[in-house]
Amino acid sequence: MTSLTQFPSSPVHEEEPGAVLNWAYSSGYRDSEAPMQAITKGLPRQPKQDGHFAAMPYAKVPAFIPALRERESFSRLALEFAILTASRSGEVRGATWDEIDLADGLWTIPKGRMKANREHVVPLCPRAIRIVERCAELRLPGCPIIFPGVRGKQPMSDMTMSKLLKEMGQPYTAHGFRSSFRDWVSEETNHPSDVAEAALAHIVANKTEAAYRRGNLLEKRRVMMAEWADYCEGKSS
């Protein structure tokens, strides 16, 4: 009997149930095809993924912010900055000092760091500016990263914010605060949908509309983000 170690290499992939056995059958190493029904029943059921991130209800955000500020760390500053700017955690973790313009209150993220591969300008509310200024006070010599990780001059891990939320007893994700912001805009304000979508750096699905929308709605977004910051601070609009 020929051992498996003597078989020529199989062109099939491991993730195809029974494919190896069927290849062995077609190559003369088995007398029958793979019993597919038995194989598939023996495999563990895979959980369905809906693609959604657990989001904190926006009504809970004003109470969460003071708890976030009880202690100071780069991870806490980064998470609050992400909430106030409605940015993706990766964009915040990778933020560098040369992207910040404190005089104009702007954060310009280069297209190479954006999901849509398009430069994104973020207006910074006063509290977001204060966070950046605090990070400057804590800045490690020669570190280009605003929110460095434990390795000093490298960005913090993508699990850092998730770990922080877990330690605080929150069953939500950092990315989910973008949904919190979007729900707040829709349910509590009169800001147009396209302004909110621009703040989230979402791509305009309608190609015709995208072709005619050449502005970045910056000033309208500045007003909206200032109101969001006030809401997060517990201030009535």
Active site residue 69: no
Report d(CA 186, CA 47) in Å as an integer. Answer: 31
Q: Which of 76, 93, 178, 220 is catalytic?
A: 178
**Scanning the structure block, which residue is given the tokens 């955690």?**
89
**Please, which residues bridge with residue 100 across strands?**
107
Q: Is 175 one of the annotated active-site residues of the chain?
A: yes
* Residue 94: other Cβ atoms inside 10 A: 18
- SS3 category, 157: coil
115 annotated active-site: yes
Classified as helix, coil or strand, 148 is strand
- Answer whether 22's CB lies under 8 Å from 13's CB: no
Which secondary-structure segment (H or E) carries 209? Answer: helix 207-212
Residue 130 annotated to the active site: no
- Confirm whether 52 is a catalytic residue: no
Q: Please identify which of the residues 76, 175, 182, 191 carries the catalytic annotation.
A: 175
Cβ atoms within 10 A of the Cβ of 165, count? Answer: 22
- Using the Cα atoms of residue 203, residue 209, residue 210 and residue 216 in order, give the sign of their dihedral: negative
Active-site pick, 41, 45, 207, 212: 212
Tell me the C-alpha distance between 148 and 171, whole Å.
24
166 tagged catalytic: no
Q: Which of 76, 88, 191, 220 is catalytic?
A: 88
Among the options 69, 115, 213, 235, which is catalytic? 115
| Active site amino acids | 88, 115, 175, 178, 202, 212
